[in-house]
Structure 1
């Protein structure tokens, strides 16, 4: 074969380069492809990977290109990761702006200049919405959509007013777990907590099963936890894809203990957040929520305590006022009763004295009338009846004297009765007046053991303390 019939490889490469420059120089293409064989050199800030397209529904390759992202492309990938929360890695579908580059030593390559964030966000959102729809369709007894909000079995569980026994799912090296513990242990109220850690991997979208396994371990422990806390902190935002997975959402939605999430994100809620009983942004906020809930309960108890104290004071004041009114009423009734008795005795004495006076006056008038009648009789009657008059006069004198004696005895008897009925006479018979705080004690006055009473006798006033009370049977 002559030298005119073959080319050196470098010569062929040069021809290819000329053709590539004529066709592709200065041109860029937006292409959709999957990323494979990815590697990253942090020192150089270079990405090396392949872009592939597979036949739908199979693993058959339709196209493959080597690709590189330097300087401009690497910066755009960093923006992409920060915006989407998706790590630029294998098995993601992306829309890239690339140029075609041919190098004699390295062959044909695609150089990345830009990456469409909105395309990936849309893809991630579609995946998220697909997982949410699947949760509703496949778990109708535990997940439902009501007025645009997801309602789960876990969300409808009663969250205790006091949260003390906690199970925490986190990475053992997570800064978020340290923040969570620090916030709980240093609460100003001095609340005590029992925290059981269930450490596992909390990053990597393919590691959902590890979190599910820890939830199963918590359930099988048989411990009556007040809540389960899933926290993550200190990692990249791209690690949040783990919490968008269907398996985690299903496990949380069906879990029989309230789940609180604090997975360290500031943007939209993940599937795990939407399925959990309470979703918070960070581990610290999760700890603050628990402390605040306990504080709310303590404040409520303090409010009840103050309310009870106020009502008790009001009741005591009302009772004191009622006792005072009863005291005044009894005192007035006692005085009125004594006055009535005194007035009755006085009236009875006056009546008896008046009756005696009237009786004496009647007898005196009767005698005067008889004397007048006899004085008017003729002298002969006086003479004839002189003996009779003498006899009658003697008889009358005897009767008058006898009547006077009888009436005097009656008056003396009435006076004796009056004296016997007087308080002084009653006291001299051995009776006594019993008073409590200067009030005469009768049936309506209640005496209690320990009361100090005053006893008034005919000659003395005594003070005594009640040590025993026994009911007296009048029968």
Structure 2
């Protein structure tokens, strides 16, 4: 047997408490993923640091939990002893005391938390389908003539909507389509009433309205069948569910979401005072346009009258006649001068012939003289005939544009006694004596009235 000096104890791993707790913590954090735990709050404390410490327990066990300050400040409820909650976090070990605990990322009330998860899951799925896309939403009509309101007939929401509509635009035709807005069967009944309203083809727009409430109270408006029916409606659908901070899937599917039922009514119809101002502005604009166009037409008529007066057919015909007569006079004078010259030449030639007595030459010269004497007369006759035809053509053209030709077709020209022409009813007063010129004479008429 060896002596005490020669004895060596067997080798073994020796850990300190901190090393052991660190190893246990690493094993816990590596083995457990992010977990959801539902239980009852107990041993609730909130020290000055702002952190929240408590236990989650059921009938058989409990686990310590910690929710640190940055996340505890965003809770939408007040934690209290005995409240059933749903916690999400990671399992770890608090090394200083060797306590197993959950370090939480979020904390919510148990019932509402389950609904919130279902809400987010359905919202994500419908969003992925494009059901909430802005591009598919329909604009509201400028003026809603018939409106269907799907709401509870006994709630405050319908009273608010009807009050706002009556104050702003009493001409709108409103039908209250009664439906339950809470309960297990509410979503199915709302969807059926929505389909009936769509099939009727009566409404320009539909409004879903309900007052505020908890997530459970508003859950009927998160029903998938109802949401799809709203998105498929052929007319615009406005959603006014709950208060401004309340959101439902019906709000995302609707063509317009209003924060409250009263605001929805204001968005659907214009204010009657605004319509009055717009009508007055349009009336003023119409009068101004009519006045401007009438003034332009009168200016064009005045310019046309001035041009017509400057181009009077009788004056133009007289001028053409004078020009033709002057041209004929000059032509006749020229032929007369030429005839005189030819006669002088003939007389000179006759004197020469008489002096030389050539009988044959004298006879040719006499024939030439006869021919020369006939040519000016024929030319003058042709020229006179040509000018007469030209004058008759000009007279027909002038007669076609002459107001006398218009009178000959059954119209008349009204004139005052001083010769002023009456072009508008504003230029004649009741009782005025006027002269009406017709195709075969004049008529004296008196103004008895205007229209």
In the superposition, the TM-score normalised over structure 1's length comes to: 0.48
In the superposition, the TM-score normalised over structure 2's length comes to: 0.50
Rg comparison, structure with higher value: 1
